[in-house]
Structure 1
Amino acid sequence: MTLRRLLLSMLVAAMVVVSCTSGQNGGENVNVDTSYAVEMASTWHYAGAPQRVQVGILASDANGIRPVTQGAIDLEFSYLGADGSGEPSAGPTATATYIPVPGTDASGDVPAIVTGANGIYEADAVSFDDAGLWRTTLSIEIDGVPRRLTTDFRVDAESGIPAPGMPAPKTETLALDSKNVEDESVDSMAAGGDPIPDPELHEWTIGAAIEQSRPALVLFGTPAFCTSRFCGPEVTEIQRLAVDHPDRAVYIHVEIWKDYDAQTVNKGAAEWLLRELPDGTPQMTEPWLYLIGSDGVIADRWGPLFDSADVAAALEALPPMEA
């Protein structure tokens, strides 16, 4: 099974080549003939509802491939028709702010290449009127040079995976007390015989939380095998949110892989995230973070990254749970 991985296979050949003068850019020298590419980080966009849009920007030069981080960028969206053959028709515009991988540097005010920083840019409440192929055009200034980058993406008539306003699938995800499963199927960080490092995130199943009318904050991700390097820091951040907001929800980490070597996906992750494209190709994107209300309805979702302050505000908007 081939799963689409995010922000990794941005091939240099697909990048928009931009020549720039050497100079200082957020603490790093930017060399001549640096190439830049923008790609969609978020997936499963759908028409008719406000949603988050996340994009990643990578720079490639003699020093390798590095993310552009910090600050904010402007996005313009245009509709290319149901099959992408139409002339671009102007759509919404938005400002996308930088969202760091938890624990990485987010101190800069302008887009730059910063050692140790990693993340994406997120625009909130973007609505697409029609299903089909869309284009985002990104305006950014790096090292004093303005640039415009584009990438195309699909918008479906409906979300292909669970979305806000939908009833949450009452999935019996794996937990600490699940029978006849390996620990690494519950949490990939237990591979090789290590103990599960976050047992407090594996006490509840999604189904049990819904059955008992408990709000749930659910992270789908595979910290040991996450090629984007988002999942591990996000698990740690969910642990922190659980400590800071213990009475607002139960906190659940759903491991993606039942057996990574055999490329077998856990049933719970597959029910939520594994889909088949029109050409028959299986697709799963992760990580995803879901907030499920006490009524069993999805209140919000974030992916692949989330703004911790945004999630904390959503948790605090919930009434305290009864003991």
Structure 2
Amino acid sequence: MDRRQFIRTATLAATTGLVATACGGAADGERAELPPSSDDQAYFVQLASLELLTGPERWLAFGLTNSDMSPLAEDQEVDIYLRRVATTPDETGEVIAGPLTPTFSPAVDTGQGVYYLQTALEEPGLFEIVALTESGFGVNAIQVVDPSNSQVRSPDEGEPLIPGAMAVSAQTATVEEDLGVFSLCTQDPPCGMHEVSLDEALAAGQPVVMMFATPQFCQTAVCGPSVATLETIREEEDWGDVAFIHSEIYAEEPTGGAVAGVPVVPAVADWGLPTEPWLFTIGADGVIVDRLDGPMPVEILRDLVGNLTA
């Protein structure tokens, strides 16, 4: 597995549409005049998702820091806009949505705090997320893809692993069968989500919350404690027969933290995951209900798990 891409760049223009709403935030209001991307930026927008799918109720989470990578002041008000990518450096693309008020999820133990919105993505294309305050702005590109064109797909079947698709029945390491991996769980202390293998849970007709992540060797500043966050959600209430499963990413221990060329565990290869972390919720019928990669605030994970059991 290659080092995770966590700062997305882009060079193509887009001319398609996108609509967004803020989770718990403001609706579209009076829009400010946004500067072109070529202007000096006061903020650094960190996008850690491999891709965003078109469709309703998509989660978009991102890091936002000052240009020196220091966190914003706690009372700093931020407006978020979504706009098409301009065709020339001195132009500004059409604003599709905004101002939107993002919700902030503070850092927990590791990583950094992240901001998030819930979006309705109507058409694929290349867009920009613009963060604006009274002191300046920051911008980064986001790629929106049709689910049928998702990069995440099973190498064997070739089908995209998207909501509505069948989950891949793969064996994952458990306390009873560690599959020879160097570590069952690199979280300290280890999580309690290694009691059942994914293939066993699917065969038994259990709903599944499947987390692919490596706490010790996460390669992004905004990935945060995804496994610990899911563990907290698992323990906070009775989820019935839902199987919570965690799989590490690497079969061998990365030397000095370098992950390039390190073999991945069989389940990661079976699912064709090009990045990490990833979370999939899977219904009792084996169909993927939802998925998420990149930053995983507790509020988003709780929503996805809740949707599985609703």
Q: Name the counterpart of 1:170.
A: 169
Aligned to 1:88: 93
Partners of 2:137 and 2:208 lie apart in 1 by 40
1:295 paired residue number: 285
Q: Which amino acid aligns with 2:243?
A: V
Task: Return the offset for 1:7.
Answer: 6.1
Aligned residue for 2:4? 4
- Please tell me whether the aligned partners of residues 48 and 220 of structure 2 are also in contact (alpha carbons under 8 angstroms): no
Q: Contact 1:15–1:36 (CA<8 Å) still a contact in 2?
A: no
Equivalent residue number for residue 266 of structure 1: 265
* Contact 1:188 1:257 (8 Å CA) reproduced: no
Q: Secondary structure at the match of 1:202?
A: coil
The residue type equivalent to 1:223 in the other structure is: P
Mapped pair 1:160 → 2:151 = yes
Distance 1:66 1:60, change over 3 A: same
Name the aligned partner's letter for residue 160 of structure 1.
Q
Name 1:148's counterpart in structure 2.
137
Deviation at 1:229, TM superposition (A): 5.9
The one-letter code of the counterpart of 1:312 is: R
In the alignment, is residue 311 of structure 1 matched against residue 304 of structure 2?
no
The one-letter code matched in structure 1 to 2:248 is: E
CA-CA distance at 1:80 after TM superposition: 3.6
Q: Give the one of 68, 73, 79 matched to 1:74.
A: 79
**Alpha-carbon distance in structure 2 between the residues aligned to 1:155 and 1:237:** 27
Shift of 1:256: 0.9
Q: Which residue of structure 2 aligns with residue 51 of structure 1? A: 58
- Structure 1 residues 319 and 91, CA gap change in structure 2 (3 angstroms): closer
Whether 1:188 aligns to 2:195 is: no
Q: What's 2:112 paired with?
A: 118
Deviations 1:132-164 (A, max 9, x none): 3222222234xxx3x222212322232322333
Superposed CA RMSD in Å reads: 3.5
- For structure 1, the residue ranges without an aligned partner over 5 or more in a row are 19-34, 105-116, 191-195, 275-283
**Which whole-Å deviations, capped at 9, do the CAs of 1:260-298 have from their partners, x for residues lacking one?**
245112221233353xxxxxxxxx332222222222222
Kindly provide the CA deviation profile for residues 224-273 of structure 1, in whole angstroms up to 9, marking residues without a partner as x: 11133666732222222222234332111110111224511222123335
Cα distance between partner residues in 2 of 1:206 and 1:189: 19
Choose between structure 1 and 2: higher strand proportion.
Answer: 1
Cα 1:238–1:50 change in 2 (3 A) is: closer
| In structure 1, C-alpha distance between the alignment counterparts of 2:38 and 2:177, rounded to whole Å | 46
Greater CA deviation, 163-172 or 230-239? 230-239
Aligned residue pair count? 262
Counterpart code for 1:44: E
Q: Which residue of 2 aligns with 1:193?
A: none
Q: C-alpha deviations, 1:9-67, integer Å up to 9, x for none?
A: 9xxxx99745xxxxxxxxxxxxxxxx521132323113344411122122244xxx323
TM-score w.r.t. the length of structure 1 is 0.68
Once the two structures are TM-superposed, the CA of residue 103 in structure 1 deviates from its matched residue by 4.8
In 1, distance between residues paired with 2:139 and 2:305?
35
Relative to structure 1, is the Cα distance of residues 138 and 316 closer, same or farther in structure 2, using a 3 angstrom cutoff?
A: closer
In structure 2, list runs of 5 or more residues that go unmatched.
Answer: 10-36, 153-160, 256-260
Q: Is the 8 A contact 2:107 2:224 kept in 1?
A: no
Alpha carbons 1:92, 1:126 under 8 Å: kept: no
Q: Give the Cα separation in 1 of the matches to 2:92 and 2:66.
A: 29
Structure 2 Cα separation of the partners of residues 151 and 314 of structure 1: 26
Give the 3-state SS of the residue equivalent to 1:301 in structure 2.
strand
The one-letter code matched in structure 2 to 1:67 is: P
User: In the alignment, what sits opposite 1:224?
Assistant: 216
Q: Counterpart of 1:188 in structure 2: which amino acid?
A: T
Q: Structure with the greater relative contact order (CA < 8 A, sep ≥ 6): 1 or 2?
A: 2
Matched, 1:102 2:108: yes
**2: CA distance, partners of 1:270 / 1:81:** 37
Q: Distance in 2 between matches of 1:73 and 1:178?
A: 48
Q: TM-score with structure 2 length normalisation?
A: 0.70
Q: Structure 1 residues 318, 39: closer, same or farther in 2, change over 3 A?
A: closer
Which letter does structure 2 place at the counterpart of 1:3? R
Amino acid at match of 2:281: L
- Tell me the distance in 1 between the aligned counterparts of 2:196 and 2:38: 43
Match of residue 236 from structure 1: 228
Q: Distance in 1 between matches of 2:272 and 2:141?
A: 22
